[in-house]
Structure 1
Amino acid sequence: MVTKLGPIEVIVVSFPDSDFNGSIITEIQSLVDRNIINVVDGLLAKKDLDGSIELIEFEQTNLESDAAALAALVGEIHPDLISDEDVDELAAALEPGASAAILVFEHEWAKPLRNSIVDSGGVLVANLRIPGLVVDEVLTALDELSEIS
């Protein structure tokens, strides 16, 4: 079976006090330009101090400059990759007064590898992702244990 999309990942980047300065846009643009990722959907979520949530879809027109800059990074939109329920759950987890960018992106870099695996008759049986912070914590703990021994 040939698939069109590469692996999809959803990231949520929270900005306490809604202090989004747009600096991540340059790095995301670099990743898109180098065909490492393709942003396929996303939105901004803002949680007011009273707990009410505002969702700003990238497909909307008349976006504020930060939202418009993020929306400009989106390639072909695939809006069904993250459900309304998922968005509601992610937005509800925000602290009052915070905002977040919820980005759905495709790992473009993985498509040639996937095609090579398929063409060679291989089958991908597992794909695990361990966040860098977790790896750092484990390695630090192992270093501390080796110093005790």
Structure 2
Amino acid sequence: MAIGPVQLIVLGFNHPEFHGEIIAELERLRQSDTVRVIDALAVHKDKAGELEVEHLSNLTHEEAVELGTKIGMLVGLGIDGEEGAEAGAVLGAETAEQDGVRMLPSEKELWDVIGDIPNDSAAALILLEHHWAVPLRNAVMRAGGYRVSDGFISPFDLVALGLHTAEEARRLESMEMSGANRPI
């Protein structure tokens, strides 16, 4: 079974007020077969930078540890804290190269997700598989294409394209900035 494109989204919260809305929206997307949540973690970083990690799904503890270890391979963080991160690092080292293909980014290429989370805040790390993109990705590959880059576009850049009004962009920025004082 082919897996669709996978994306790690990190959302920051200064004063999280989780009421289940995020999980409900992810569940709605899963039910429509738009995305599959591979894993989701809530990370709280206290004022000293110490981490607390909580799994955000209905997986068993064993499944959470296994998937947390996979996330540990990506960002150096496991559901079992240091032990999970160490297990992720070991598993990453064992699978970093298969058949001559480097499977994980080099140390220089790593995205320091945990370092990007400000002290005294929280973040949701959501690993998504984009089911909707499988046919597009396959068509691109059949045409000899490949991904060069990707990223979310700022609401203000969308104003320049005529896709948002300045008022809409300011409202979206205000919503984004009210959390972490920086855009998502």
Residue-by-residue CA offset, 1:65-94 (whole Å, 9 max, x unaligned):
xxxxx3128xx9883653356245322322
Cα pair 2:140 2:146 within 8 Å, conserved: no
Cα pair 1:16 1:98 within 8 Å, conserved: yes
Q: RMSD between aligned alpha carbons?
A: 3.1
Deviation at 1:139, TM superposition (A): 3.8
- Shifted more, 14-23 versus 25-34: the winner is 14-23
Residue-by-residue CA offset, 1:31-85 (whole Å, 9 max, x unaligned):
10000000112322111123211123x3xxxxxxxxxxx3128xx9883653356
List runs of 5+ in structure 2 lacking aligned partners: 78-111, 163-184
Using the size of structure 2 for normalisation, the TM-score is 0.54
Q: Percent identity?
A: 28
Moved over 4 A (4+): 115-118
Cα pair 1:53 1:91 within 8 Å, conserved: no
Cα pair 2:48 2:119 within 8 Å, conserved: yes
Residue-by-residue CA offset, 1:93-130 (whole Å, 9 max, x unaligned):
22222111101010011223344556xx4233235434
Letter in 1 for 2:157: V
Cα 1:125–1:115 shift into 2, 3 Å: closer
Matched residues in 1 for 2:144 and 2:2: separation?
17
Partner of 1:20: 18
Partner of 1:124: 145
* Pick aligned residue for 1:83 from 72, 79, 104: 72
Number of equivalent positions: 124
Matched residues in 2 for 1:85 and 1:114: separation?
22
Partner of 1:51: 49
Higher relative contact order (CA closer than 8 Å, sequence separation 6+)? 1
- The 5-angstrom pairing of residues 1-149 of structure 1 reads 4-56=2-54, 58=55, 70-72=56-58, 79=67, 81-84=70-73, 86-87=75-76, 89-116=112-139, 121-126=142-147, 128-132=149-153, 134=154, 136-141=155-160
Matched residues in 1 for 2:144 and 2:151: separation?
21
